[in-house]
Amino acid sequence: MTTTRWHARELPTQGQHTLPGRYFTSPAILAEEQERLFTRQWLCVEREQRLARPGDYFLLEVAGESLIILRDQSGEVRALYNVCRHRGSRLCEEHQGQFSETIQCPYHAWTYALDGRLIGAPATNDLEGFRKQDWPLRSVAVATWEGFIFINLAEAPRPFAEEHAPLLGRFSRFNLPNLHQGRMIEYDIRANWKLVVQNYSECYHCPLVHPTLTKRTPPNLGENDLVEGPFLGGYMILADGSRSMTLSGRVCGLPVDPQLPAEDHDRVYYYSIMPNMLLSLHPDYVMFHLLWPVAVDRTRISCHWLFHPDTLKDPTFDIEDGTRFWDMTNREDWHVCELSQQGVQSRAYRPGPYSRRETISAAFDRQYLEAMGHQPDTIFPGSKSGDRGTGNGDRGTG
């Protein structure tokens, strides 16, 4: 294996400190995040394969709203508010399942087609001016990308293809739409969701926290290629003797695509896709995390592993070699995130300076503050407002 060692340049962490404690402890800040981020930005919610057949659905709670995510009779993925247009009753209580051809309110039997149209409303024929077509279920914008489902609760969101233009086609070589889920683990951690993203975005902590990960990808080998905006990250290079991020160091499946370029067999890519998706691309599998804030000090996380379908049919491959590796690494991460949460709640906490190995974490903070409408110059007094920067920086998950 040939590796290239790079050296971090002077990057825009000079003068920038970690966020003040209120950003991790204030219920008012969390409420603002729900309004400005989780109801106005595109959120990754699942894989399309979760809705394999027309009528398949699952419920999702976002910012206090209950949503029905389903595939309608025409095969289109939709997101509908779980709220009847009559008296506001919840329509659906089961977390997941399959509708036949309609959704019926359990209160007064108002009935809707899977595309949200009202098709049945008992005892309304004599209501003056009443027309069923005026009372469809409220819908939420939906987009699909590389086999993932995204939603946006904004009234008129910017189209996904415009908002996510830097990502379109970027990972096509990884065959994402055709990969199948081999494992999923849910975690409930006692830490603010931003601490999880910041942790994922740097490997400054890896030598101490993740000895096994450090053997697979040395923290000083890699490069960032997305360094500004809501999509941040880059790659790390596998160490000599390691072929994948597994406990054994061996691959745990077929290449995600037979035509995967040779250089990608030596790399692992890590990206945060604001606000709630962490995407990790390996030569033999893809892993992604979905983050859902529950409280200022609590985050629900689902971690998913995707494989080439032939890998899942071949008993000679041990996918647990990869999933156990990351379950171990995740739990190491959750522990230090929980320690951070405990610390930022202290009256002794003051924001500390970012190192040059935390440039992506610092970039996330800047993008987060911009999305929140908060002025970085007032959060980071003494920082250079023009320091935006591009370039390399030690990074990686863990």
Q: Is residue 9 part of a domain?
A: no
Q: Is residue 287 part of a domain?
A: yes
Q: Is residue 97 part of a domain?
A: yes
* Tokens read off for 285: 């599998």
* Tokens read off for 114: 């899977």
Q: Is residue 319 part of a domain?
A: yes
Q: For residue 387, what pLDDT is reported?
A: 35
Q: Give the pLDDT mean for 154-173.
A: 96
Task: Please write the tens of the pLDDT for every residue from 206-225.
Answer: 999 999 999 999 988 889 99
Q: How confident is the model at residue 381 (pLDDT cuts 50, 70, 90)?
A: low
Q: Is residue 7 part of a domain?
A: no
Task: Please write the tens of the pLDDT for every residue from 229-281.
Answer: 899 999 999 999 999 999 999 999 999 999 999 999 999 999 999 999 999 99
50 and 29 assigned to the same domain: no
Residue 4 has pLDDT above 90, yes or no: no
52 and 152 assigned to the same domain: yes
230 and 363 assigned to the same domain: yes
Number of domains making up the chain = 2
The Cα 173–Cα 264 span in angstroms is 9
32's enclosing H/E stretch is: helix 27-36
Q: What is the pTM of this model?
A: 0.91
78 and 224 assigned to the same domain: no
208 and 260 assigned to the same domain: yes
Q: Is residue 224 part of a domain?
A: yes
148 and 217 assigned to the same domain: no
CATH number of the domain within which 359 lies: 3.90.380.10
302 and 359 assigned to the same domain: yes
Strand ranges, E, within the chain: 43-47, 56-62, 65-71, 77-81, 96-98, 102-104, 111-113, 118-120, 139-145, 148-152, 180-189, 222-226, 231-237, 267-273, 277-281, 286-295, 298-307
The Cα 156–Cα 164 span in angstroms is 16
Boundaries of domain holding 139: 43-162
192 and 147 assigned to the same domain: no
Residue 398 has pLDDT above 50, yes or no: no
Tell me what the pLDDT averaged over the chain comes to.
92
Report percent pLDDT > 90 for the chain. 88
79 and 122 assigned to the same domain: yes
Q: Give the pLDDT mean for 174-180.
A: 98
CATH number of the domain within which 79 lies: 2.102.10.10
Task: Please write the tens of the pLDDT for every residue from 71-126.
Answer: 999 999 999 999 999 999 999 999 999 999 999 999 999 999 999 999 999 999 99
31 and 69 assigned to the same domain: no
185 and 324 assigned to the same domain: yes
Last residue within a domain, chosen from 162, 190, 216:
162
301 and 270 assigned to the same domain: yes
Which among 41, 46, 84 is positioned nearest to 66, based on CA atoms?
84
